[in-house]
Amino acid sequence: MKGFILDYINENEYRKLERALKKYNMLAFKKLNFEYYPSLRNGEVIGELVSKNQKAGTKTYELKLPSDHMFSQVHGDIKLHYIVYEKEKVVMLDTITPSDILLEGHMAELTTYKAVFTNPHFAEQTMENVETAPATGHISSDWILDKPATIKESGSRHKECIVCGETLEVEEIEKLEQVAYEIINGTDSKWVENSESSIVISGNGELAKFTGVKVDGELIDSTNYIATEGSTIITLKADYLKTLSVGSHSFEIVWEDGMAFTNFNVVKKTSDNDHNNGNNDNNNDDNDNNNNGNDNNNNSSTNAGDNKNNNANSNTNQAGLPGNKKNDLSDTKGNHQSTTPAKTGDSTNLTLWITLLMASIAGITGIFTRRKKKNCK
């Protein structure tokens, strides 16, 4: 039985018993640490066998530790209780008795009595010369947070003795530096009253630092919204929104070191609200129609201009035809003052048309003359 490992059923409680034993019975403490523990590690069984469990393969022992006569009379014998696991080669340290006295001594100093008894029949009732054992000093804990620091208030933490619980040191934690967070989605959102939709607003702070949501300056219950990551996304539930009045409401996402602010509006339910998407589509169609109308107007204007030019050209052309000779002659007689033709927008040379007209008249006159001569013959 060599190479055994010492282990604990409850190490924290066992260590407390060891420290109390060191304070009130140094002889037993030294014997335990410098003689009995090494023997157990070497596989040497010490003490009295109390029980055996063949199924589990364990044996339970009690080892009486040395103690001064006074301690034994007042509190009883000090014993180490341990269990041996032979197959696993483990010695499991269970407890040290009287554990109730030792644990009490761990929390507060015991008073050690040394007495001179005047009557042997009442030796246990009469004691003199009471002496208190000196304290061995505090064992400090790590920092314990009492109040976390925020951007508005300082925090605090302390250290205490892990033996007696006395506060050893207190330290103030400075206020956190405020970070200027921003709303990155959902600013100035609108919600139609009594609808089943929600409002989604997100800020650029970390979800790990998120502490709550404020509406109209008041922190609201976490059951009224859902907080998800990315960075921090807040979804206000419809049931909560239904409790708000129509109008504008302030909204804040609060983190440990800052906040982000925006507003949202609760609007009355109207037919326009129900058909917002339809209205947007209609507006787009109207814009398209307006554009088409503009195109039509432009086309109409262009066509009108072309028609005017064409009509003017036609009139001019018709003026040069033989059937309009009287009109041409009367115009010529009535307009002696100006020989410049009116500008009609037609760039055709008027002289050319007059020449063609005269040639046509000469041709027609020649034809009639020939027919007349032929008829005379």
Determine which of 78-82, 320-324, 368-372 has the lowest per-residue pLDDT on average: 320-324
DSSP 244-258: SPSEEEEEEEEETTE
> CA-CA distance, 264 to 41, in Å (whole number)?
72
**pLDDT at residue number 356:** 85
> CA-CA distance, 271 to 154, in Å (whole number)?
52
**pLDDT at residue number 316:** 37
* Radius of gyration, CA atoms only, the chain: 56
With tokens 């499991």, the residue in question is 92
Instruction: With a cut of 80, say whether residue 372 has pLDDT above it.
Output: no
What confidence category does residue 364 fall into, taking pLDDT thresholds of 50, 70 and 90?
confident
Tokens of 13: 């409680």
Amino acid at the residue 29: F
**pLDDT at residue number 328:** 41
> CA-CA distance, 200 to 349, in Å (whole number)?
76
**pLDDT at residue number 212:** 94
Report CA-CA distances (Å) from 262 to 42, 252, 267: 72, 7, 17
Give ∠ CA 161-11-55 in degrees, rounded to 5: 165
Higher-confidence residue of 340 and 48: namely 48
What confidence category does residue 377 fall into, taking pLDDT thresholds of 50, 70 and 90?
low
**pLDDT at residue number 186:** 93
> CA-CA distance, 163 to 102, in Å (whole number)?
12
Strands (E), the chain: 5-8, 48-53, 58-65, 78-85, 90-97, 111-113, 130-132, 144-147, 155-160, 167-173, 179-180, 183-185, 189-192, 199-203, 210-215, 218-219, 225-229, 232-236, 247-255, 258-267
Instruction: With a cut of 70, say whether residue 153 has pLDDT above it.
Output: yes
Instruction: With a cut of 70, say whether residue 165 has pLDDT above it.
Output: yes
Instruction: With a cut of 70, say whether residue 374 has pLDDT above it.
Output: no
Instruction: With a cut of 70, say whether residue 299 has pLDDT above it.
Output: no
Q: How far apart are the first and last CA of the chain?
A: 169
> CA-CA distance, 358 to 354, in Å (whole number)?
6
Contacts (Cβ under 8 Å, ≥6 apart) of 362: none
What confidence category does residue 337 fall into, taking pLDDT thresholds of 50, 70 and 90?
very low
What confidence category does residue 339 fall into, taking pLDDT thresholds of 50, 70 and 90?
very low
> CA-CA distance, 43 to 53, in Å (whole number)?
18
Higher-confidence residue of 29 and 246: namely 246
Most confident region among 23-32, 47-56, 148-157 by mean pLDDT: 47-56
Higher-confidence residue of 225 and 272: namely 225
Residue 232 DSSP SS3: strand
Higher-confidence residue of 240 and 276: namely 240
Higher-confidence residue of 190 and 23: namely 190
> CA-CA distance, 141 to 162, in Å (whole number)?
6
Is 96:102 a contact under the CB 8 Å cutoff?
A: yes
Q: Look over the chain and give the mean of its residue pLDDT values, rounded to a whole number.
A: 75
Quick one: which of 18, 43, 48 has its CA closest to 30?
Answer: 18
Residue 17 DSSP SS3: helix
| 274-294 per-position pLDDT tens digit | 555 444 444 444 444 444 444
Higher-confidence residue of 277 and 61: namely 61
